[in-house]
Amino acid sequence: MELDKLMESWNEEEHNFSHKEPTEIVDMLSQKSQSSMAKVRKNMLFEFLMNLIAIPAIIWYNIYLVEDKGLQGFNFIFLTAFACLTFVYAYKFGGLYKELRLTTGIKKSLKVITNKLEIAIEIYKSINYSILPFALIAGMMNAGNSNGDFSEKLQNWPIYTAMTVIVFIAMMFFIEYITKKMYGKHLKQLKENYNNLKNI
C-alpha cells in the first residue's frame, strides 16, 4: 500500500528529514480522513431521511389500514417512541455532522473527531436497542390481519413474547453489523490515520 511504504520510508530515514515537513504523508492521511468523514456524513443523512419517511408512512398505515382501536392505540405508542428517538438521533448527530470536517491542525482535528464519533456510535446503538423491542412487538401485532381483534391478540402474549426474544437476539447481531458497516469501519480508519500522524 502506498501510504504504508511512505510511512516505512519515513521511519527508516527519519534522521534525514528532521528539517523537513512530511507533507506527502500528511496530505494522503488528510485525503483518506476526508473520504471517511464524507462517507459517515452520507450515511447519517441517509438514515435520518429514511426515518423521516417512515414516520408519515406509519401514520398513514395506522389511520387508513388499521380499524381496531386497540391496535391503533398500540401503534400510536410505538410511533411516539420512534419519533422521539428519531429526534434524539437528529439532535445528537446533527452537531457531529457539521463537525466532521478537518480544520487547521489535522492531528488535533482527528483526535476530537474520533472521540466524538466513538461516543456518537454508542448513542446510536443505544437508540436502536431502545426502539427495537417496540418495533418487533408492533410488527408482530400488526402481522396478518391488521383489522383483527386486539384483545384476542393480547391473549397470545406468551407466543409474541417468545418470538420477540428470538428475533431481538437476531436483530442485536444485525445492529452490530450495520453499525460497523456504516460507522465503525470509518472510525477505525480515522483512528489509524491519527495514530500514523502521531508517529510523524
Share of the chain above pLDDT 90, in %: 12
pLDDT in tens, 67-90: 777 778 878 888 888 888 778 777
Say which residue, 14 or 130, is predicted with more confidence.
Answer: 130
- pLDDT classification of 17: cutoffs 50, 70, 90: very low
| Angle of CA points 88, 89, 93, to nearest 5° | 120
124 vs 21, which has greater pLDDT? 124
How many helices and strands in the chain, by DSSP H and E?
7, 0
142 pLDDT tier (thresholds 50, 70, 90): confident
The C-alpha cell of 40 is what? 459517515
Q: What is the pLDDT at residue 186?
A: 92
Q: What pTM, to 2 d.p., does this model score? A: 0.72
Over residues 108-118, the pLDDT tens digits come to 888 888 998 99
pLDDT score of 105: 75
> Does the structure show a pLDDT above 80 at 7?
no
In terms of average pLDDT, the best of 28-42, 59-73, 80-94, 143-157 is 28-42
pLDDT, mean over the chain: 77
Q: Residue 144: its pLDDT value, please?
A: 54
